[in-house]
Structure 1
Amino acid sequence: MLAIMGSRCRCSTMSLTDGMRWASINPMHHTSATVSPFVRAKAESFGEPGLAWLDGLDDLIAEMEQQWSITVGQPIRGGTSSYVAHARTIDGQGAVLKLALPHFWAPHEIQRLDQAAGRGYARLLASDPDRNVMLMEALGPSMSQLGWPPEQVIKTVCATLQQAWQVELPETVPAQTGSSKAQDLAKLINRAWRGLDQPCSKEVIETALRYAERRAAAYNEDRCVAVHGDPHSGNAMQVLSPRSGAESGFVYVDPEAFVAEPAYDLGIVLRDWTEEFLNGPTRSLVRHRCGLLAEHSGLDGDAIWEWGFLERVATGLYVLEFGAAWGQEHLDVAERLV
């Protein structure tokens, strides 16, 4: 069993041995923590708190090893807002340690995982909300790594999200809702488009802003769920063995955790397949995928389309601000959809 020490730590009541196996080959050789250029740029954009986070990663890892009686191994690449690494507990079981950037939504992520208790989400084994640190069950590859055809991805994503959406809504309205999310995306688009010297057409921006206005106006608390917020296939992880709460065979990690219409999450899914969309008949491909998402979820296709377009434009601009060239590809797809 995991040893928990320190008054700031919260831990789930389940055993680490519940349905878990060590799934990596010799991942336990830990060296000095390094982050990707994207994560570094994002941390630096936070100013002094972000710089302190970067400087203190090694010390924080050492503290968590002692506090939770774990051994931290090699990093897991691919995250955009955290340092994530393999870990092993004192009794030899696999786990994943995540050290999130000092942003305001990290405690909401911890709260969502704790509340979900493994239903549609990775099991949270221990957490330190004051320091944005969490220990989670070990998982297999992401859905994006499996090379599945789009319809199989869509069917499985919808089944996994149906589990995740069962998490109870908070008793009070959270700071972020579908309405405020749409408004925030509109502000980001306006600012970044000008700051980046207009990397896409005005027509793309006007379409995105029109969709943002529609989705904000469509917000209805009675039709909302606790959305994941970023459920692309790279955040859908295969469980290592069948278990309750993961009937689709997958669970989600990295929730942004706010309240919105469920079509928001499927708009994020529609944002995938950028390379395929660019190399084929873009509009018909995107429309077909949107139709599949609506069919497998029973949700409104127009709402999925509007959220998908809005998030594609916002994401493209956002990552361009941090020097990620692939953001332009998102905008190129959007150009073909207006």
Structure 2
Amino acid sequence: MKWPSAWVQTVISVHGERGEKWLAELDSLLASCAERWELQLMDRTPYELTFNLVLPALRKDGSEAVLKLGVPSRESRTELAALQLYAGRGAVRLLASDAERGVMLLERLRPGQLLSEVADDAAAVRIAAEVMRKLAVPAADAVAVGKAAGGAGFPTARQWASGLERLRQRFDGGTGPLPEPLVRQAQLTFGQLLATGVSEPQQLLHGDLHQGNILSAVREGEASASWLAIDPKGVIGEAAYGVIPLLMNQLPKSRVERISLLRNRVHILSEALCLKRERVLAYGFSHMILSTAWCVEDGVGDSHAALETAACFAELQREEPALE
């Protein structure tokens, strides 16, 4: 089959030779999955592909499903482990899987409206907050499952933050294309957050819960649609860190409008989830700088936009009391 060239290039950019080998064997893997689970696979996908291949499928009983495949990695194993923990509560149901081959068979969510299509941003943020409440899993409950699924278990916010140190290692102590003062400030802020976060309850966070990863679905036996999460990364941290992907997505281009929208979103989420605004904003700034480091590391993404959003978080921080 012929796949989108941009997606193929992303797989190779992120995974290198392993990605090339996986792509070369992809048709064979698809045939194996179809035979194993008795699936009729579509030869084209209606979904926008990023790192994984996602294909609609029909099962033998006529029900719809989605086959998701990716280069086997720690991230694919922790996604699988997170879905097992959620068990369909606030998230898409896992129907079958093969962790060693990076394959998951998922329920297909219908009607499948994206939260990003909800025009009222405040309403969308409140919906997302409700999904976050459903997904909340204490860290202690997640550790055993994560280790069983991926050996090293779920990553922690501290481990994610170490991406900034990897950036410095890559550039012999420097920060390459990123402004050194911003990287230094992000490292200091992460350090402060993690040091003071020991008093905050630790949870299994989705890790990428933005407007494009929340869909509507009417399940059998339900009278109305509910909103469900897809594509969890799975990371251990405090709830204030878990809201950042929602904050940083679907922002207006105007700096003034962007700051106003971020301020409103932070207010809604802080009220709905009992979060400390200063910690949310501090995580927002430091994570946006971390995102730029990931862009450099993976060779994909828009680091310039992330830096602009980091500046917006920094401006909002100046409106708040100092981080304790």
TM-score of the two chains, using structure 1 as the length reference: 0.79
Correspondence for 2:90 among 103, 112, 120: 120
1:71 aligns with 2:71: no
Correspondence for 1:230 among 208, 216, 219: 208
Structure 2 equivalent of residue 170 of structure 1: 143
Structure 2 equivalent of residue 335 of structure 1: 311
Matches within 5 A, 1:112-191: 112-139=82-109, 140-144=112-116, 146-166=117-137, 168-171=141-144, 174-182=153-161, 184-190=162-168
The 3 A distance-change label for structure 1 pair 135 and 219 is same
Structure 2 Cα separation of the partners of residues 289 and 169 of structure 1? 28
Using the TM superposition, give the Cα deviation of residue 308 of structure 1 relative to its aligned residue in structure 2, in angstroms: 1.7
Using the TM superposition, give the Cα deviation of residue 195 of structure 1 relative to its aligned residue in structure 2, in angstroms: 8.4
1:313 aligns with 2:289: yes
Residue aligned with 1:105, SS: helix
Residue aligned with 1:158, SS: helix
Using the TM superposition, give the Cα deviation of residue 202 of structure 1 relative to its aligned residue in structure 2, in angstroms: 3.5
Residue deviations 1:252-300 (CA, integer Å, cap 9, x gap): 11111122111111122111133x1535344444233212211121111
Structure 2 Cα separation of the partners of residues 162 and 284 of structure 1? 25
Matches within 5 A, 1:21-40: 32-35=1-4, 37-38=6-7, 40=9
Correspondence for 2:26 among 57, 66, 80: 57
Answer yes or no: is the 8 Å Cα contact 2:10–2:50 preserved in 1.
Answer: no
Structure 1 equivalent of residue 184 of structure 2: 206
Correspondence for 2:233 among 240, 256, 260: 256
Residue deviations 1:5-36 (CA, integer Å, cap 9, x gap): xxxxxxxxxxxxxxxxxxxxxxxxxxx15145
1:239 aligns with 2:209: no
Structure 2 equivalent of residue 217 of structure 1: 195
Residue aligned with 1:225, SS: strand
- Over aligned residue pairs, what C-alpha RMSD do you find? 2.9
The 3 A distance-change label for structure 1 pair 334 and 178 is closer
Using the TM superposition, give the Cα deviation of residue 138 of structure 1 relative to its aligned residue in structure 2, in angstroms: 0.4
The 3 A distance-change label for structure 1 pair 222 and 35 is same
Answer yes or no: is the 8 Å Cα contact 2:205–2:242 preserved in 1.
Answer: yes
Q: Structure 1 or 2: larger helix share?
A: 2
Structure 1 equivalent of residue 150 of structure 2: none
The amino acid that maps onto 1:83 is: L
The amino acid that maps onto 2:94 is: L
Answer yes or no: is the 8 Å Cα contact 1:165–1:227 preserved in 2.
Answer: yes
Using the TM superposition, give the Cα deviation of residue 148 of structure 1 relative to its aligned residue in structure 2, in angstroms: 2.4
Answer yes or no: is the 8 Å Cα contact 1:277–1:286 preserved in 2.
Answer: no
Structure 2 Cα separation of the partners of residues 291 and 299 of structure 1? 9
The 3 A distance-change label for structure 1 pair 316 and 150 is farther
Answer yes or no: is the 8 Å Cα contact 1:119–1:163 preserved in 2.
Answer: yes
Structure 1 unpaired stretches of 5+:
1-31
Answer yes or no: is the 8 Å Cα contact 1:309–1:334 preserved in 2.
Answer: yes
Structure 2 equivalent of residue 269 of structure 1: 246
Residue aligned with 1:220, SS: helix
Give identity over the alignment, percent.
25
Residue deviations 1:25-80 (CA, integer Å, cap 9, x gap): xxxxxxx1514525533434423322111111111111100000001112243342
The 3 A distance-change label for structure 1 pair 231 and 43 is same
Structure 1 Cα separation of the partners of residues 169 and 217 of structure 2? 40
Structure 1 Cα separation of the partners of residues 265 and 279 of structure 2? 14
Correspondence for 2:279 among 299, 303, 313: 303
The amino acid that maps onto 2:210 is: H
Matches within 5 A, 1:67-106: 67-73=36-42, 74-106=44-76
Deviates more, 1:154-163 or 1:294-303: 294-303
Residue aligned with 1:34, SS: coil
The amino acid that maps onto 2:102 is: N
Using the TM superposition, give the Cα deviation of residue 157 of structure 1 relative to its aligned residue in structure 2, in angstroms: 0.5
TM-score of the two chains, using structure 2 as the length reference: 0.82
The amino acid that maps onto 2:283 is: W
Structure 1 equivalent of residue 321 of structure 2: none
Deviates more, 1:173-182 or 1:77-86: 173-182
Answer yes or no: is the 8 Å Cα contact 2:154–2:236 preserved in 1.
Answer: no
